[in-house]
Amino acid sequence: MKKIFILLFVCLFINKSFAYGETGEAELNAPTKAYILSRFCTEVKYNFAFYDKLNFNWDSLCVASIPSLTTTSSDEDFLKGMQLLCNQLHDGHTYIFPMNNPKNQADWIRPFPMKTKRIGDRVFVTDVYSSNLQQSGVHPGCEIIEIFHGT
């Protein structure tokens, strides 16, 4: 397998009511959830730089995830399940984050919300494209000192 170092820009989406902090019904039906899951699993299989170093069978994990992810009661639960699946890769390049328009397939894949540059042993933010990150205080010149998964 050839080594391609790319970021997997897979974003999932949740319904607009969740995005505004309200509760509501899921907008994604089971076939759509299955499609999103299969698309994500395929992207990992063919583009994840360290696929050959995974110590588990990715295909089996994806297949085993189908029943639980396609039957989630809300888009928020589906998003959390997809994030847990993504976390199994244990890397800092593959991520899933919410967005506001699940019906627009063009919005399903987005670029990374910021750019970084490595200088020596340190990593700095060079551009920020996400207003949420900007509001959180992330701006060009910030040093990335830790990456964690918040739940």
Question: Do the Cβ atoms of 17 and 23 come closer than 8 Å?
Answer: yes
Confidence tier at 104 by pLDDT (50, 70, 90): low
Confidence tier at 31 by pLDDT (50, 70, 90): very high
Question: Do the Cβ atoms of 36 and 107 come closer than 8 Å?
Answer: no
Burial category of 31 from C-beta neighbours within 10 Å (exposed 0-12, middle 13-18, buried 19 and up) = exposed
Which pTM does this prediction carry? 0.55
- Please check the confidence at residue 11 and state whether its pLDDT lies above 90: no
Predicted confidence (pLDDT) per residue in 44-69, tens digit: 988 888 888 899 999 999 999 999 99
